[in-house]
Amino acid sequence: MDNVIDLMKKHTSVRNFTEEVIPDEVIKDLIEAGRAASNWKNFQSYSIIVVKSKEQKEAIYEHQPQKSIINSSHYLVFVGDLKRAETAVTMNGGDFQPAGVESLLISSIDAALAAENILVAAESLGYGGVMVGLIRDQSAEISDVMGLPDYTYPLFGIALGKPARLNEVKPRLPYETVVFPEKYVVQDEEVIKAYDKVQTDYAGQRRVDSTWSERMVSQWGQPELKSSTENLKAKGLL
């Protein structure tokens, strides 16, 4: 058990892979380990599309140009999926009503739990990977590439492969600023400033032009991108 905990603490995202191809039977084992994760009422409200071909990777890359997608052995696209729910509700004479935040939370959380299991399982075998959430920025385009029907939507992907190199583990926020006893504890600016320095020191020569907190401005300091919302409405989920 200590080895599992140590492995999880050593996690680092891998974006550069060797040319080694993960055997298909290993990919299946990894996915089965992922599917063993907890999920809401055993509804399993997600699907996984396994992308291995150069052509399909390039089709995704055209809309989301991240080299980890192209260089990966396999790229797994996680889909929030209520299409099976539609079939089940209709089969049982029900009135299918998938639209709403609760449905999105159920399918998103289910998929995220499975994905984390897969990544940990991959790392246990000496492979690595990175979560790619930016595919939501081109939600409709990725949906077309993946052939997603109504009541389904792209959540994120995992690029998997044999690491060409491993970075140092990225420092997390201090434990006491994230984990609270009994009730929530509001943090002040000093916590943010201190962590900005930790992240800047960690980056070193790879330093970017903005601090950790400044990068939050581009995420939450402006209106959200409309691509996900528009696609969710088009798919009958909002």
pLDDT 10s digits, 213-223 = 999 998 899 99
Domains and CATH numbers, the chain: 2-169+224-234 (3.40.109.10)
Q: Are the beta carbons of 74 and 161 closer than 8 angstroms?
A: yes
pTM (2 d.p.): 0.93
**Which helix (H) or strand (E) covers residue 200, if one does?**
helix 189-203
Copy the structure tokens of residue 141: 């385009």
Checking if the pLDDT of 225 tops 90, the result is: no
Short-list 144, 37, 23, CA closest to 74: 23
Predicted pLDDT at 139? 94
Short-list 48, 216, 210, CA closest to 117: 48
Whole-number mean pLDDT of the chain?
Answer: 94
Residues constituting the chain:
238
Copy the structure tokens of residue 215: 């990068």
